[in-house]
Structure 1
Amino acid sequence: MPPTSELGARGEAIAVAYLTDTGLRVLDRNWRCREGELDLVAREGEALVFCEVKARRGTGYGHPVEAVTHTKQRRIRVLAQRWLAAHDEHARDVRFDVVGVLVRSEGPALVTHLRGAFS
């Protein structure tokens, strides 16, 4: 099995493919500022979507989406404000999604997409 950083990159690539297949347009990946990093920023119609991606090999420590705690949600909201201040993107709606990717040793990964996972 790949190391954690490779697992994260693979999970993110799977999430990007899934999101684009379902109609989202990815605007930014791994955007960084002083406060941290946003995994994905996408657009779906009039909505700007800030998406946190969590990948795991199993559910021994819970489903990947459960790793997005209230503390992480707060950080993502701050990062979204920073991203909006740094970019000339306007949207009627802003949404926070979580994509959980279970990478299995055999068979395709299992993707769970929580739209509007938090506000």
Structure 2
Amino acid sequence: MSEIFSITNQDIRPAAQSSSATGRAGEKLAADLLVDNGYRLILANFKVPIGRNTKGVQVAGEIDLIALDGEIVCFIEVKTRRSADFASPLASVNLRKQRQITRTARVYRRIFGLQQSSYRFDVVSVLLENANEPKIELIKGFWNEQKFRKRAWSGDVW
């Protein structure tokens, strides 16, 4: 009985520890794909405070990769999965994640004086089901900032 428990325990521990390694491997594959497609990598894992939550605790935002595609600044989220059985990697780039990346990109653009520069939000999906042949997909312009802008009252009368 203890032998079965120790085998089960061994199976669970490496999986929990290797999720960050999976993410790092995915980011490396994504960076290689971007360079092969003519992007110039600027920065990896940009992390900065972006505000406070409802309890007053400071919230940090992170962008996996920032690159230039010609003259366009690209803020790139990399999502890596070992299996698509549960959900596709793209499924985890939900509205909450998009809003967090959008806010982080605003701070980045403000810090570096890029408010007038063209930019977009891309996603790289990495699926490592077959370690020899990972499936990597680049989606340019996965979302835009428009849906997260505050709307002002137009003043129009109904």
Structure 2 length-normalised TM: 0.70
Number of residue pairs matched by the alignment: 119
1:12 to 8, 11, 27: 27
Shift of 1:90: 6.8
Instruction: Tell me, in whole angstroms, the C-alpha distance in 1 between the residues paired with 2:46 and 2:62.
Output: 5
Instruction: Tell me, in whole angstroms, the C-alpha distance in 2 between the residues paired with 1:90 and 1:15.
Output: 26
Which residue in 2 is equivalent to 1:104? 129
Shift of 1:100: 0.5
Shift of 1:60: 1.5
Instruction: Tell me, in whole angstroms, the C-alpha distance in 2 between the residues paired with 1:68 and 1:89.
Output: 25
1:43 to 34, 48, 68: 68
Q: Which runs of 5+ in 2 are unaligned?
A: 1-14, 50-59, 145-158
Runs of 4+ residues over 4 Å off in structure 1? 88-91
Which residue in 1 is equivalent to 2:80? 55
Q: State, as a whole percentage, how many aligned pairs show the same letter.
A: 32
Which residue in 1 is equivalent to 2:5? none
Structure 1 length-normalised TM: 0.92
**RMSD of aligned alpha carbons:** 1.7
Instruction: Tell me, in whole angstroms, the C-alpha distance in 2 between the residues paired with 1:61 and 1:82.
Output: 34
Letter in 2 for 1:95: R
Letter in 2 for 1:27: I
Shift of 1:23: 0.6
What do residues 16-46 of structure 1 show as CA deviations (whole Å, max 9, x unaligned)? 0000100111100001112221100000111
